[in-house]
Amino acid sequence: MRLGMRKFSLSALAVMGGTAAVLLSGCGSTTTGNTTPGDLAADQTLHMTWAGSNGNQISAIDPGTGSDSTVIPIINLVYDGLVTLDQNLKVKNWGADKVTTSPDATTYTFHVRSGQSFSDGTPVKASDYAYSMTRTIDPCFQSPVNYYLLDIKGAADYSSGDNCKDHKVVNPLPSDAIVADDGASTITIKLDKPKTYFLSAMTYSTSFAVEKSVVSGEDLGKDDVWTKNIVADATHTTGQGGSGMFYISQYDAQGNLILKQNPHWWGTKPLLKEIDYKIFADGDAQYQAYNTGTTYDEVDGIPAAQLAAAKASPDYHEYGLLAVQNAAFNWKIKPFDNLDARLAFCEAINRTAIVNNVLKGGQFPGYHLVPKGMPGYSPDITGPDGITDPAGDLTKAKAHWDAYKASLGGAALPKITYTYDSGSQAAKNYAEALVSGWNQAFPDAKVQIQALTFLERIKEENAGNILQSFRFGWLADYPDAQDFLTLLYDTNSTYNKWNASVPQADQLMEQADSAPDGDARLKLYNQAEQLLVNNVAICPVYQYSGHYRVRTYIKNYVETAQGELSLDQWQKTYIAKH
Helix axis angle for 425-441 and 283-291, nearest 10°, is 140
With vertex at residue 194, the alpha carbon angle to CA 190 and CA 195, rounded to the nearest 5 degrees, is: 105
Task: Give 389-440 as a 3 state SS string.
Answer: CCCCCHHHHHHHHHHHHHHCCCCCCCCCEEEEECCCHHHHHHHHHHHHHHHH
How much is the pLDDT for 17? 31
Establish how many alpha carbons lie within 13 A of residue 92's alpha carbon, considering only the half-sphere containing its beta carbon.
Answer: 18
The single-letter code of the amino acid at 340 is D
The 10 Å CB-count burial string (b at 16+, else e) for 307-320 is beebbeeebbbbbb
In 396-553, beta strands by DSSP E: 417-421, 448-452, 469-475, 539-543, 546-550
pLDDT string in tens for the chain (578-residue length)? 766 654 444 433 323 233 333 333 345 445 556 789 999 999 999 999 999 988 899 988 999 999 888 999 999 999 999 999 999 999 999 999 999 999 999 999 999 999 999 999 999 999 999 999 999 999 999 998 999 999 999 999 999 999 999 999 999 999 999 999 999 999 999 999 999 999 999 999 999 999 999 999 889 999 889 999 999 999 999 999 999 999 999 999 999 999 999 999 999 999 999 999 999 998 899 999 999 999 999 999 888 889 889 999 999 999 889 999 999 999 999 999 999 999 999 999 999 999 999 988 778 999 999 999 999 999 999 999 999 999 999 999 999 999 999 999 999 999 999 999 887 788 899 999 999 999 999 999 999 999 998 778 877 776 767 799 999 999 999 999 999 999 999 999 988 989 999 999 999 999 999 999 999 999 999 999 999 999 999 999 999 988 999 999 999 999 999 999 999 999 999 999 99
How many Å apart are CA 401 and CA 345, to the nearest integer? 8
How much is the pLDDT for 8? 44
How many Å apart are CA 518 and CA 514, to the nearest integer? 12
The single-letter code of the amino acid at 259 is L
How much is the pLDDT for 1? 72
At 359, give phi and psi (nearest 5°). Answer: -80, -45
How much is the pLDDT for 458? 76
How much is the pLDDT for 31? 55
Residues contacting 346, CB < 8 A, separation 6+: 327, 329, 383, 384, 397, 536, 539
Q: Which residues pair with 109 in a beta bridge?
A: 100, 188
How many Å apart are CA 431 and CA 327, to the nearest integer? 10
CA 480 to chain centre: 13
> Are residues 543 and 323 in contact, defined by beta-carbon separation less than 8 angstroms?
yes
Q: Which residues pair with 546 in a beta bridge?
A: 319
Residues contacting 4, CB < 8 A, separation 6+: 51, 53, 58, 59, 68, 69, 70, 71, 421, 454
How many Å apart are CA 49 and CA 82, to the nearest integer? 29
How many Å apart are CA 476 and CA 90, to the nearest integer? 13
> Are residues 152 and 133 in contact, defined by beta-carbon separation less than 8 angstroms?
yes
> Are residues 214 and 226 in contact, defined by beta-carbon separation less than 8 angstroms?
yes
Residue 549 burial (C-beta neighbours within 10 Å; 0-12, 13-18, 19+) = buried
Reference 246, options 226, 217, 220, 275; nearest CA is 275
Radius of gyration of the chain from its Cα atoms, rounded to whole angstroms: 23
How much is the pLDDT for 456? 84
Q: Which residues pair with 111 in a beta bridge?
A: 98, 186
Phi-psi group of 446: left, alpha or beta (phi > 0 → left; psi -120 to 50 → alpha; rest → beta) = left
CA 523 to chain centre: 25
> Are residues 421 and 471 in contact, defined by beta-carbon separation less than 8 angstroms?
yes
> Are residues 335 and 536 in contact, defined by beta-carbon separation less than 8 angstroms?
no
Cα–Cα distances in Å, from 274 out to 45, 139, 165, 569, 573? 5, 37, 44, 15, 12
Q: Which spans in 42-180 are helix H?
A: 72-78, 126-136, 155-158
Domains in the chain, start-ordered, CATH in brackets? 5-268+546-575 (3.90.76.10), 323-543 (3.10.105.10)
Q: Which residues pair with 116 in a beta bridge?
A: none
> Are residues 64 and 301 in contact, defined by beta-carbon separation less than 8 angstroms?
no
How much is the pLDDT for 218? 87
